[in-house]
Amino acid sequence: MLIKTVTALLALTLTAAPAPAGAAPKEIPFTAATATQRDAGSFALSWSAPGVRQVTVYAGRTQDGIDYGHPVGRGEGTSAITVSGLGAADRWWFRLVPDHGAGLTVADRDLHLASAPNFRDAGGYRTADGHWVRMGAVYRSSDLSALSEADLAKLRRLGIRTVDDLRSPAEREQAPDRVPAGATAHTYDVVGTGGPDTDPQTPEQAEQLMMDTEVHLVRAASAQAGYHSVLAGIADRRTHNVLYHCTAGKDRTGWTSAVLLTALGVPRETVYADYLASNTYRAAANEAVLSQLPEDVREIVRPILEVRAKYLDSGFAEVAKEFGGFDRYLSAGLHVDPAALRAALLV
């Protein structure tokens, strides 16, 4: 299909430390928090914690290596600050410690891999009932065929254990993954056979192709089997850290994240924001492709390179049509227990 011919052409992570054994867990007062890298060693942090008077910020090169002896910043319950002068690190983590309630650890969602620009943390969102999706456990990306040695080494140090490849055999043969040392690779051809295979001649037909593809990802037996395996692996904490990906990291991968986050209880508007973020992460790569095409072809290809809300609308509409609701899709279509996912990923 045309998708195969062109795929080659919210800055946030959040975790909370567990309560001591026998102690009742404290409520996390933060309703929002972000960390965004500006320059090397410089980060913009912002948060909102209603009812909190003061927040103290600590930093570390790993989640378990926060230096609580040296604060790097302070602010009020709702604040935006800049932290500068930090040294080199694969990933800087910032612990937000309120004057009451549980703390929260934030980091830039973007892994800043030059050879995989859509590589990012898949979790880090607040659920509708006030939990947070555990971070540093699940990642999403485009294919890994172009990973540099430096980026491969970074993924190894970050502890990637499982790589779930959602591409077709032809895609995998054309652009084989470079898998970090120590990781176990799995392949799941979620599109399989019988998917949309029409060459669009207009932008409207291109959009319809993408919406039909989203429907296929809900309906096809190959997709249901593949997504079951990916989500079952995520529910098994022994397999963390998990990375799932396709070619561009936006459609097959985007539906994976939409299903995962919805199953965890993340609000629908946040699910859409995560899905649409691929347009930002892939903006430069998409424009590079479009710039090489004849002008009359660009607007036909553009809808295939991008993600749009109407594409995800089609997936959720098909879930309602075929299964009567999302919970039934999880149980009857994917044979996944959302309680197991929540136990593995929510704090």
pLDDT in tens, 45-82: 999 999 999 999 999 999 999 999 999 999 999 999 99
Residue of 180, 313, 202 whose CA lies nearest to 321: 313
What's the rounded mean pLDDT across residues 217-229? Answer: 98
Residue of 114, 140, 135 whose CA lies nearest to 307: 140
Place 25 in a pLDDT band, splitting at 50, 70 and 90: low
- How many CB atoms neighbour CB 44 within 10 A? 15
Instruction: Reply yes or no on whether the pLDDT at 171 is more than 90.
Output: yes
Q: How many residues does the chain have?
A: 347
The 32-39 sheet, strands edge to edge: 32-39, 42-48, 78-83
Q: Which two tokens stand for residue 264?
A: 């965890």
- pLDDT for 255-302, tens place per residue? 999 999 999 999 999 999 999 999 999 999 999 999 999 988 999 999
All domains of the chain in start order, with CATH: 2-9+136-345 (3.90.190.10)
- Residues designated catalytic: 246
- pLDDT for 239-249, tens place per residue? 679 999 999 99
Report the alpha-carbon distance of residue 115 to residue 292 in Å, rounded.
20
Instruction: Look up the pTM and report it.
Output: 0.90
Helices (H), 108-202: 149-157, 169-174
Instruction: Reply yes or no on whether the pLDDT at 10 is more than 90.
Output: no
Q: What backbone phi and psi angles, to 5 degrees, belong to 58?
A: -120, 160
Residue type, 181: A
Helices (H), 175-249: 203-219, 221-235
